[in-house]
């Protein structure tokens, strides 16, 4: 849309409002959401176009992050930031609890719209992950016949993996009320349960963006249950952030640190450096691990018993 068309489309706005809109667009251009370019053969006419990064906010983009943006800007998640001082002076587990009087997970249990949006946001990166796994990590499942996606929600990622790797018997494992009513398919089934109590047995167990939601103590319990569930030659596959403080070439460290703050405020979780991951793995009794940083902010971690 050209600047002239933008002004013509808003005839009810007075000059002051139009100037304010221009100031907003100027900021969005500087921030990388829009860019200005000449239109057609008219060197005098300029217009605003979305950048590649901004296109990820479109609902119809195949890798849209719009659902995740809606979650983290939901008023329920914004409010806790105003309670950080209160939280620092009491015994509440999180600032979210200080703001709402219950944990994030309990709150979502009473807010179907928010939990549905949360589940959608957790699955909106499925095309990216399945593409990376199929293009660059096909060997990941060479000796794996069964996979359990722990905390897999409504199964968006597991469905993608099951389609790309049809030899895999995939299980989505989540709380009973999350998977209630979801239908099994050819090589995909749903099982209800509690990951702190037991995890279904499989050759590989997947934890995608699970551990960062929990404290070290809780993660030790989750990893122990996963270790108990994997077969003799199996492994745990983790998709999560590995904070890269010492990598000067890494461009997304600030975003990783902001995610760390979000986990602290909302769920008492954290983003971890490699040495912190390593401590969790070896404390739980795993023998080795391998980190492959191929998912932007996040890495693929294979953990061996």
Rounded to 5°, the CA angle 109-115-121 comes to: 155
Please identify which of the residues 30, 100, 167, 212 carries the catalytic annotation.
212
The domains located in the chain, with CATH, are 3-54 (no CATH), 56-118 (no CATH), 125-304 (3.40.50.150)
**305 residues of the chain, pLDDT tens digit each:** 555 555 565 555 566 777 787 788 889 888 888 888 776 666 666 778 888 888 888 888 877 888 888 888 999 999 999 999 999 999 999 999 999 999 999 998 888 888 888 888 877 778 778 888 878 777 888 889 999 999 998 898 999 899 988 999 999 999 998 899 999 988 999 999 999 999 999 999 999 999 999 999 999 999 999 999 997 779 999 999 999 988 777 788 998 999 999 999 999 999 999 999 999 999 999 999 999 988 888 999 999 99
Task: Count Cα neighbours of 255 within 13 Å in the Cβ-side half-sphere.
Answer: 7
212: annotated active-site residue: yes
pTM: 0.84
């Amino acid at each position: 849309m050209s600047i002239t068309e933008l002004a013509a489309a808003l005839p009810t706005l007075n000059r002051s409002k139009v100037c304010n809109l221009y100031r907003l667009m100027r900021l969005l251009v500087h921030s990388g959401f829009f860019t200005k370019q000449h239109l057609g053969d008219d060197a005098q006419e300029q217009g605003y176009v979305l950048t590649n990064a901004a296109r990820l906010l479109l609902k119809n983009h195949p890798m849209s992050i719009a659902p995740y943006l809606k979650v983290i800007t939901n008023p329920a998640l914004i409010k806790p930031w105003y309670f950080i001082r209160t939280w620092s002076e009491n015994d509440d587990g999180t600032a979210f609890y200080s703001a709402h009087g219950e944990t994030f997970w309990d709150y979502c249990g009473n807010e179907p719209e928010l939990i549905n949006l949360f589940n959608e946001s957790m699955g909106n990166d499925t095309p990216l992950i399945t593409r990376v796994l199929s293009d660059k990590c096909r060997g990941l499942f060479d000796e794996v016949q069964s996979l359990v996606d722990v905390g897999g929600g409504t199964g968006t990622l597991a469905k993608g993996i099951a389609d790309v790797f049809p030899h895999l018997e995939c299980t989505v494992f989540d709380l009973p009320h999350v998977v209630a009513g979801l239908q099994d398919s050819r090589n995909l089934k749903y099982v209800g349960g509690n990951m702190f109590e037991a995890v279904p047995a499989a050759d590989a167990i997947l934890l995608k963006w699970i551990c960062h939601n929990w404290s070290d103590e809780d993660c030790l319990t989750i990893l122990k249950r996963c270790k108990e569930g994997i077969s003799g030659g199996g492994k745990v596959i983790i998709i999560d952030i590995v904070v890269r403080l010492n990598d000067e070439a890494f461009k997304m460290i600030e975003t990783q640190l902001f995610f760390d703050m979000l986990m602290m405020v909302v769920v008492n979780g954290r983003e971890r450096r490699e040495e912190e991951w390593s401590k969790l793995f070896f404390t739980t009794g795993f023998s080795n691990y391998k980190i492959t940083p191929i998912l932007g902010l996040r890495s693929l971690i294979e953990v061996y018993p």
